[in-house]
Amino acid sequence: MVLLGVLVTTTGSGHGCGNTWPFCHGEIIPGVITIAGVIEYSHRVMSGLDGFLVLILAVWTWLLYRKDFQAKLFAFLSLLFVVLQGVLGALTVIYEGTWALTWLLSIHFGLALIAFASVILLTVRLFQSGKEPEETRAPAAGRGLQGLAWGLAVYTYIVVYTGALVEHSGAVAACGPQFPACSPTYVPGLTSLAGIQLLHRYFAGLLWLLVLALLVVATRRYRERHDIVRASRWAFALITLQAISGMFNVWTEGQLLAALVHTTLIAGFFSVLCLLCAQVGWPWKRTKPVTGGESGESKRLELKTVP
């Protein structure tokens, strides 16, 4: 669904079905339809099917896992943000061709990532149901790692909006194929398309450095938490590939394949960060010491990592 949305935007097919919603030109099966209409209507049909499947999954989860708070939470978030996606989809059709469209499309993409990550987290939770969580056999995450993981998730969401603004404002090719500079300057006016492009690059560069710091902290201080180390490695690998795909997106000036790869990678990266947040726990709750069956080394690590 995320890829179909990017396909609609990149090909300029958002107005392929006119200003009518949810059908195409007011008809369930339009008599005459263009390629843009096919792309746009395919996105709408698949969105409806996706929403129906998420509804079934959410209700089924609430019925079978009534005592599992996390499973019910992820199911609720999945359904909530899919519904919000539908509402915003209708608004983007109504405001097609107006200044407000750029901001609506950016929010639309941001909510799509939350919906995608919620379904991924729910899936992981259901597959792990009945198994002993790894965090009960190894040191709990400290406040520092919790704050870093959750802060990264929030900051990534902000960076995603700057990227969506680049895409929907037409700033992808604002600097031409030049990277990392933009024409002869590194600091253009932020109200220009070139400024929007560079703002996203700087935000994304800082994000890469922060994920590198996360990887260093996880591998040095939480070696026994294999789930955290694996998630950190996946996060760093995906953000590195994301940076490379971003360069290709600039060099190709926003060609379709580069845009689709760029979107796929950021969706996977954001989902991994959300999974990491679930693994380290809520930052405002005190972590409990590890008890029962733990080695002296594990207990010593626990005392070091928990403030």
Catalytic residues: 40
- The Cα 210–Cα 206 span in angstroms is 6
- The Cα 196–Cα 232 span in angstroms is 29
Exposure string of 67-88, with b = 16+ CB inside 10 Å and e = fewer, is: ebeebbbbbebbbbbbebbbeb
- The Cα 288–Cα 84 span in angstroms is 37
Q: Is-contact 274 117, C-beta < 8 A?
A: yes
For residue 6, what are the contacts with CB-CB under 8 A and spacing of at least 6? 167, 259, 260, 263
Q: Is-contact 149 281, C-beta < 8 A?
A: no
CA-based end-to-end distance of the chain: 42
- The Cα 87–Cα 292 span in angstroms is 50
CA angle 226, 228, 234 (to 5 degrees): 100
Q: Which helix (H) or strand (E) holds 208?
A: helix 193-221
